[in-house]
Chains A and B, each alone.
Chain A
Amino acid sequence: MSVSSPTAAVGSFTQAAFDAHLAKVSHLPAWWLDRKRAAYERFAVAPMPKRTNEGWRFSNLAALTLDGFNPAPAACPFAQMDHHELGVTGAGHLVFANNRLVASQPLAAEAAKQGIIFDTLQNALLKHGDLVRAHLLTQPSKLGSDKFAALHEAFLEDGAFIHVPKGVTAPLPVGVFHYACGDGTAVFPHTLVIAEDNAKITVADFFRTGSGASPAPRAFACGGNDLYAGHGASVTYVAMQDWSRETLSFQFNATLARRDARVLSLNLHAGARQARHESFSQLAAPGAHSEMLALTVAHGTQEFDQRTLQIHQAPNTSSNLLYKNALLDQAKTIFSGLIVVDADAQKTDAYQSNRNLMLSDDAEAHSLPGLEIQANDVRCTHGATSARIDREQEFYLESRGIKPAQAQELLVFGFFEEVLGKIEHQELHDTLTDIIREKFRA
């Protein structure tokens, strides 16, 4: 009875493609394969987003095609990739290309001895099935992309699994690299971070195109991360989205913070033609805190679409969202954020702010901040601003002999530092700063 054409609804991700994918992962636990089948069903029947969907307001729906992608890209040898390290000496890393592990550096002996697990999701599914089952993709998709989130679950082949046992502090950050190589490639990266009670870890995710080939390869990236912080745990998660400028990108984040836990996530957005990022933080028990940060450098005709949800479910929880965008050329950003405070989440302290730095008259920034408060004793603030570079600040720098282009760069970094400065690990902070500097000059 369906009226929409089946190819429009699933594009390249046909039943046959899904069956071929399932055959590749048939060695994984049955419960996971069942979940994938159910996810594929949800994906296939869900309609594409429509103009009337509030969750897609201002988004370029015309460019959201699922056609013309390769759901089973060929393997990509590590030697052919233009790989950059995390910049943290001795840190463990996993490198995935076209959904498969191509290189890795195990954790230092000290970290391994403490029982920290840093492995592929496939290995974790086989060896730590219960842990994965309890935390992988268990949060509902609430921000509009249920169809694409289902596609992610259906085609998710491999990713990173990080588990930090109770009371253990990981001595160094770990790095996870996801590459997409070749034209039309579809990738489904995932990073699952589980920090048990009073554990502490920093994880950095990098999303890149395998080589600086020109013209930029077309790709489809549909990734996610789950961040779980148990009682008193602390998770710092940094993601650098730097896909090719011809990529359609989706990223879904689900954060769950238990009693007195603290999660900081910082998403840097630089790549893709059109990138949608959905971030969902659940403050599930008293004292939980979530710091939701993002920086975007938007060039050309790039579109960055950011949708966020902060749900306060318990008293004395706090969240702080700060999304900063620098827009050049004809770039477009959309920020839509909602803070929800449940009736019994008294003494909630929630903050939400979107700041746009307009570096071009032709760029476009949309802000849709929102609050939904059921408790009566809370402090919630939100705000959005769009401003150009301050002329007096620019003149001040230039009056010291600094050339206009460099003055602008300094001011943009000054604008970003409020966010970058929250990364306490100095080497990681410097790596991120260098990447953004390079992006800004690109």
Chain B
Amino acid sequence: MSQLEIKDLHISIGEKSIVKGFNLTIKPGEVHAIMGPNGTGKSTLAKAIAGHPDYTITSGDVLLDGQSVLAMEPDERARTGLFLAFQYPSEIPGVSIANFLRAAVQARMAEGEELDATAYYKRLYTKMDMLKIDRKFTARAVNDGFSGGEKKRCEILQMAMLEPKIALMDETDSGLDIDALRIVAEGVNAIRAGAQPPGILLITHYQRLLDYIVPDFVHVMYAGRIVKSGDKHLALELEAKGYDWVKKEFAAATAS
């Protein structure tokens, strides 16, 4: 079974250091929630692991099943089993969801192997039914003119189709009303209930999401690293007390 190890990771954007010594191991099927105030490096972490060209990993390593992914291009990382659910998914006019997903599925097949279109659509429709997505959706251009909720459901549909080993979910709850949030969470929970559930890194700002997707671990990220870890109760504590006490603890710890 697959696991992700993030070892003493340092990430910069240009000259600016954002993530400073991040450590975490995600075992198969585990859900780790990362919480923390704005600007603390949560999204940077997710995008850099997925290989976004704007981010430079200056030191440390990211291993999937013991193999470093850092020398890989973004598409290779994805085919190896990493998946990033975007906070702001790109709109791609003129490319239908059906064609886009077929290209992604085909990219995972051996050279010269033909995609079985019937089996592909059967699988796609099963996943769409699971996510309560209308079948007409497949003819629409990827994220083009989608509502916030549709975009996020489209992300989860891709995750369900591509069956990653590790999913990095970046603020999947942002921009969602409570009904949309519930549908998205149900989709994620259905994936978790599958035969080979991925390990999930769930980045969120709000405890609210964790009522629906219950994490195995909660970590607080601040100033580019994890400063506190606990179980789901930590999220409730953060919700009640805010982040100030974490910041104070961190200041005291680094001062000493």
Distance in Å from the Cβ of B216 to the closest Cβ of chain A?
A: 25
Distance in Å from the Cβ of B154 to the closest Cβ of chain A?
A: 11
Q: Does B254 contact A (CB under 8 A)?
A: no
**Across the interface, which residues of B come within 8 angstroms of A396, CB to CB?**
86, 89-90, 92
Known: A397-B100, A398-B75, A398-B78. A403 touches B107 (CB 8 A): yes
Q: Which of A41-49, A162-170, A415-423 contacts B (4 or more CB under 8 A)?
A: A415-423
Q: Which of B25-33, B48-56, B201-209 contacts A (4 or more CB under 8 A)?
A: B48-56
Known: A411-B92, A414-B93, A417-B93. A399 touches B108 (CB 8 A): no
Which B residues between 71 and 115 are near A, CB-CB below 8 angstroms?
73-75, 77-79, 83-84, 86, 89-95, 99-100, 103-104, 107-108
Q: Does A390 contact B (CB under 8 A)?
A: yes
Most buried by B among A400, A404, A407, A417: A400
Which A residues between 400 and 442 are near B, CB-CB below 8 angstroms?
400-404, 406-407, 410-411, 413-418, 421
Contact A393 B92 (CB under 8 A): yes
Cα separation A293 to B51 with both chains bound (whole Å): 38
B90 in complex: contacting residue of A390, A416, A421, CB < 8 Å: A390
**Across the interface, which residues of B come within 8 angstroms of A398, CB to CB?**
51, 73-75, 78
Known: A390-B90, A417-B94, A417-B95. A399 touches B103 (CB 8 A): no
Contact A416 B94 (CB under 8 A): yes
Contact B95 A404 (CB under 8 A): no
**Number of interface residues, chain B, beta carbon within 8 A:** 29
B78 in complex: contacting residue of A393, A399, A418, CB < 8 Å: A399
Majority-rule SS of B interface residues: mixed
Most buried by B among A395, A418, A421: A395
Cα separation A249 to B25 with both chains bound (whole Å): 63
Q: What residue of chain B has the Cβ atom nearest to residue A420's Cβ?
A: B94
Q: Does A130 contact B (CB under 8 A)?
A: no
Distance in Å from the Cβ of A2 to the closest Cβ of chain B?
A: 53
Most buried by B among A401, A414, A416, A421: A401
Contact A403 B75 (CB under 8 A): yes
- Interface size on A, as a range, is 20 to 34
Cα separation A414 to B86 with both chains bound (whole Å): 20
Q: Does A392 contact B (CB under 8 A)?
A: yes
**Across the interface, which residues of B come within 8 angstroms of A403, CB to CB?**
75, 107
**Across the interface, which residues of B come within 8 angstroms of A402, CB to CB?**
75, 103-104, 107
Most buried by B among A395, A397, A399, A413: A399
Contact flags B128-139 to A (C-beta < 8 A → 1, else 0): 000000000000
Contact B50 A410 (CB under 8 A): no
Known: A391-B53, A399-B50. A414 touches B92 (CB 8 A): yes
Contact A407 B86 (CB under 8 A): no
Q: Does B238 contact A (CB under 8 A)?
A: no
Cα separation A404 to B103 with both chains bound (whole Å): 12
Q: Does B12 contact A (CB under 8 A)?
A: no
Which A residues between 359 and 396 are near B, CB-CB below 8 angstroms?
390-393, 395-396
Distance in Å from the Cβ of A297 to the closest Cβ of chain B?
A: 15
Cα separation A407 to B51 with both chains bound (whole Å): 15
Contact B107 A401 (CB under 8 A): yes
Contact B95 A401 (CB under 8 A): no
Cα separation A415 to B77 with both chains bound (whole Å): 27
Distance in Å from the Cβ of A409 to the closest Cβ of chain B?
A: 9
Cα separation A324 to B121 with both chains bound (whole Å): 32
Q: Does B210 contact A (CB under 8 A)?
A: no
Contact A399 B84 (CB under 8 A): yes
Cα separation A413 to B141 with both chains bound (whole Å): 12
Distance in Å from the Cβ of A260 to the closest Cβ of chain B?
A: 30
Q: What residue of chain A has the Cβ atom nearest to residue B78's Cβ?
A: A401
Most buried by A among B50, B94, B107: B94
Q: What residue of chain B has the Cβ atom nearest to residue A417's Cβ?
A: B94
Q: What residue of chain A has the Cβ atom nearest to residue B91's Cβ?
A: A393
A404 in complex: contacting residue of B50, B73, B158, CB < 8 Å: B73
Cα separation A401 to B74 with both chains bound (whole Å): 7
Cα separation A402 to B108 with both chains bound (whole Å): 8
Known: A400-B158, A401-B162. A413 touches B73 (CB 8 A): no
Contact A400 B53 (CB under 8 A): no
Contact B107 A406 (CB under 8 A): yes
Distance in Å from the Cβ of A415 to the closest Cβ of chain B?
A: 6
**Across the interface, which residues of B come within 8 angstroms of A410, CB to CB?**
92, 95, 99-100, 103
Most buried by B among A391, A398, A413: A398
Cα separation A397 to B79 with both chains bound (whole Å): 12
Known: A399-B78, A401-B79. A415 touches B53 (CB 8 A): no
Contact A415 B158 (CB under 8 A): no
Distance in Å from the Cβ of B139 to the closest Cβ of chain A?
A: 11
Known: A395-B52, A410-B100, A410-B103. A400 touches B162 (CB 8 A): yes
**Across the interface, which residues of B come within 8 angstroms of A399, CB to CB?**
50-51, 74-75, 77-78, 83-84, 86
**Across the interface, which residues of B come within 8 angstroms of A392, CB to CB?**
90
Q: What residue of chain A has the Cβ atom nearest to residue B144's Cβ?
A: A414
Cα separation A411 to B141 with both chains bound (whole Å): 11
Distance in Å from the Cβ of B15 to the closest Cβ of chain A?
A: 20
In the complex, the 10 A-B pairs of residues with the closest C-beta atoms, listed nearest first:
A414-B94, A417-B94, A401-B78, A396-B90, A414-B95, A400-B104, A398-B75, A398-B74, A401-B79, A401-B107
| A–B complex contacts, Cβ < 8 Å, 21 sampled | A391-B53, A393-B92, A396-B89, A397-B100, A398-B73, A399-B74, A399-B86, A400-B75, A400-B103, A401-B79, A402-B75, A404-B75, A406-B103, A410-B99, A411-B92, A413-B94, A415-B94, A417-B93, A418-B93, A418-B94, A421-B94
**B contact set with A: CB distance below 8 Å:** 50-53, 73-75, 77-79, 83-84, 86, 89-95, 99-100, 103-104, 107-108, 141, 158, 162
Sample of 17 more A-B contacts, CB < 8 Å, known A406-B107, A417-B94: A390-B90, A395-B90, A396-B86, A396-B89, A398-B74, A398-B78, A399-B50, A400-B100, A400-B103, A400-B107, A401-B108, A403-B107, A410-B95, A414-B92, A416-B94, A417-B93, A418-B94
